[in-house]
């Protein structure tokens, strides 16, 4: 259940199916925060990329840089999956301190 928390929308599975498991809830919280931040980031970068494409030809480079930065979210998801698979409730770097689920 905890591994599913880091696979995008599948975060809903441990949120609803493992309400009693503190371990699954911990990873569901981490996965939910990761999902919300990465979705917000994607929306913002698409908006900025669209605006820049209309204005500058340098937008291709900027969009490429934004796509490289988005790899950070994939790395955080992999770290979370590894921690969950190894039975550890370890916070993710940078976003681990935030808590949505209790």
pLDDT by residue, tens only, the chain of 102 residues:
889 999 989 999 999 998 899 999 999 999 999 999 999 999 998 888 788 777 777 767 777 888 888 899 999 999 999 999 999 999 999 888 888 887
Rounded CA gap, 93 and 72, in Å?
11
Q: pTM above 0.85? A: no
| C-alpha torsion 72→78→81→83, nearest 10 | -80
Residues 11, 28: contact at Cβ < 8 Å?
yes
With a CB cutoff of 8 Å and minimum separation 6, the contacts of 63 are 45, 49, 52, 53
Domain extents for the chain? Answer: 3-85
CB atoms within 10 A of CB 67: 12
């Amino acid at each position: 259940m905890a591994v599913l928390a880091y696979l995008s929308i599948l975060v809903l599975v441990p949120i609803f199916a493992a309400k009693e498991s503190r371990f699954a809830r911990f990873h569901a919280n981490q996965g939910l925060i990761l999902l919300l931040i990465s979705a917000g980031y994607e929306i913002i970068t698409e908006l900025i990329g669209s605006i820049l494409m209309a204005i500058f030809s340098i937008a291709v480079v900027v969009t490429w840089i934004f796509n490289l930065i988005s790899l950070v979210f994939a790395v955080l998801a992999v770290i979370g999956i590894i921690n969950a698979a190894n039975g550890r409730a370890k916070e993710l770097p940078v976003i681990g301190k935030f808590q949505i689920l209790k």
